[in-house]
Amino acid sequence: MPPTPRSASRPAQFHFHRMERLLRGHPLRTVSVDGVSAEFVTDAALVRRILVKDGKHYGKGELFQKARILSRAGLLAQDDTLHRHYRRLAHPYLRTAAVAGHAPLMEEIARDTAASWRPGQPVDVQAAMCRAASAIALNTLFGALARETSDVLGAHLAALSWEMIRKPLYGRAARSPQPSRRLAKAFTAFRTLLASCVAGRLGSPAAAADHLSALLADTGPDGAAALSADQICDEAVMMLTAATVTTASVMSWALHLLAEDPLIEEKVLKDLARTTAGGEGADAAGRSGHGHGPPGYALRFLMEVLRLYPPVWITCRTALSEVTLGEHALPAGTHVMFSSYLLHRDPGRYRDPHRLDPDRWLTLRPNAQDASYLPFGAGARGCVGEAFAWKELEILLGAVAREWRLTLPPGSRVRAAAHTTLHPQRLLMIPQPR
């Protein structure tokens, strides 16, 4: 990137408005990513065809390495059969029924996060959200951990996640076969500690109902362990980091946008008070916009945050065989790209698409026939942790917003950074008690 037409004389620095200007109105357009040709798709129906209808004809793309430093096993495996197997292993701990059991622990960690802030003292919101999300991921997917172990692992996971959030997707740094020094150091520190925990669980006969135990107990056709200890560590690092970076990015935007619009903030607080008093929030169907009635205002707000700032903002697939996309025949090996950021801001689908408007979801629903709203992807490789993420976002938003009113320091300006996730480049905020 930046995605530029093949005829462009030289690439320019990445800008979202430039991407929109170049690609809007072209359902399929040839672009260049670091000198490699790719087809950029902006038509939502064609994107759905890639992800769902013809999903078996497309593999994971390699133009954006994203999490390849973390793992090539399990959920990140190129082989669809292997991917489905590890998806099934993770699902029992991420489905809606399991998430309800995780909620009390999520709430405790969220309350502790909010309670650690001090009035008037600036908070690095992204770092704070990395710490909260890493603690939630560790203690729900890995089962009960000793407090000291959890604190140390969580600190290292938060550091790794922050480096992954800022990891470039294109350009010289992304093309390098070696990660940056900071990222490599954070990865090694966390993985070394995690390996000790995995080794301890391998030597313990006690079984636990968590994702790590499912990985440890998994066997192949011959009855032997399906994954080596190293592969289990890789898969665990990937799952924990993915759960942290996306949540931290979305929550950072949510708290920023809440502070920017007092009227929306007031409506969110009223809805949070109502759902707390009633003892319940919306169910998973309501969160994703597929329920019988519209979701509550706080969840409509989160849906808008994910529409405007989807953490996985750009995706690449590779054609495994000759495919037809719209009116175009594409040979095997063709790189095909699409951007959730562009799809979510399509003026043909969303009125005034750049405006934060939670009430658009009173009548609008994600369209099952296209891919105009896919903050968690779609198809066989869509995010397995969607229900988990909705509950976590809802709980973190409630814990912070009820406790604190956040403002930006005078003169500060928040810009979007398009790295592994779409995140605020820098986000310091000043908390004041409600």
| DSSP one-letter code for 142 | S
Contacts of 215 (CB under 8 A, 6+ apart): 74, 89, 227, 232, 235, 236
* CATH number, domain with residue 227: 1.10.630.10
Task: Tell which wins on pLDDT, 25 or 181.
Answer: 181
Contacts of 419 (CB under 8 A, 6+ apart): 165, 166, 167, 168, 169
Q: Which two tokens stand for residue 183?
A: 């990222």
What pLDDT is recorded for position 220? 83
What is the percentage of the chain residues whose pLDDT exceeds 90?
58
What pLDDT is recorded for position 273? 92
Q: Which residues pair with 123 in a beta bridge?
A: 429
107, HSE (Cβ side, Cα atoms, 13 Å): 9
What pLDDT is recorded for position 231? 84
For residue 157, report the phi and psi dihedrals to the nearest 5 degrees. Answer: -65, -40
Q: What is the mean pLDDT of residues 296-302?
A: 97
Q: Which two tokens stand for residue 72?
A: 């090539």
pLDDT, mean over the chain: 86
Structural domain of 315? 4-433
For 122-179, how does the pLDDT look when each residue is reduced to its tens digit (9 = 90+)? 999 999 999 999 999 999 988 767 788 889 999 999 999 999 999 888 776 666 666 7
Distances (CA, A) of 107 to 16, 132, 190, 397, 420: 35, 10, 25, 10, 27
pTM: predicted TM-score of the whole model, two decimal places: 0.90
For 101-130, how does the pLDDT look when each residue is reduced to its tens digit (9 = 90+)? 999 999 999 999 999 999 999 999 999 999
Number of domains in the chain: 1
Task: Tell which wins on pLDDT, 396 or 184.
Answer: 396
Q: What is the mean pLDDT of residues 23-39?
A: 87
Whether the Cβ atoms of residue 111 and residue 424 lie closer than 8 Å to each other: no
